[in-house]
Every structure is written in structure tokens, then in C-alpha cells.
Amino acid sequence: MLSAYWRYFLYVTEHKLNVFIECWHEGLYLQGILHDLTKFCPHEFFPYAIKFYSDRKDEVTELRWKKAWLHHQNHNKHHWEYWIVNRNTKEALPMPQKYTIEMVCDWRSFTRKWGRRVKDSIWQKA
């Protein structure tokens, strides 16, 4: 299991670096540094590591990960879900531009990792 934790740690570290680079280009220096810090908290770190980097594929693992993902969305302002007031009425607060930009930087970080491109047209509409 230690291998799963180590591999996930390396993944998050690489992701944070890629987001930092994208945020740096946009002038969001502090957000680039602080991005996804909750992924290192135990209630996020362990469920993510076990789900994505171990062989455990049971219902308990899935439920723990879903709780961790919900926690992540609700504690990180660059996720649009953070701004939802009422899911039933689809009421949401306006997402401040700096978090919208960070969200796009997050998406662009995956281009650095996986080679997919986030279109500039999406960014310009944000």
C-alpha cells in the first residue's frame, strides 16, 4: 500500500507544478502555490491514493473516494461546485474571475500531463 501512497504523492506534486506553471502565466502566483493543498489532507489523500493507485475496488473504497471528492469540491474555490447554493434550484453564486482562471489553469495542467488541449475559446469565454 505504501507504493500507492508514494505514487499518488508524486502525481499530486506533478499536478501542482503543472497548475503552478499555468497560474504563473496568468499572474496568479499565490493561487498557483496554494492550488489543491487539500489533496494532502488525510481525508482526501488516502481515499484518492487507494482508489487510483491500489488494487482495491470495493464499495467502501468507492464511497470513501466520493466523500473525499465532495470534500475537495466544497473546499476549493476553483471548482464550480464550490459556488452552488442550491442544487435543486440550480442557484449559484457568481464565481470570481480569479477562480475561473485557476479552474482553466487546472484544466490546462492536464494538457501538460496527457497532451490534450483546452481550447483558448473556452478560456476567453470564462
Average pLDDT for residues 76-91, to the nearest whole number? 95
Q: What was the pLDDT predicted at 115?
A: 76
Residue 6 clears pLDDT 60, i.e. is over it: yes
Would you state the cell numbers that stand for residue 13, as one nine-digit string? 506534486
The span from the CA of 74 to the CA of 69, in Å, is 9
Average pLDDT for residues 39-57, to the nearest whole number? 97
Residue 111 binned pLDDT confidence (cut-offs 50, 70, 90): confident
Give the end-to-end CA distance of the chain in Å, rounded to a whole number: 40
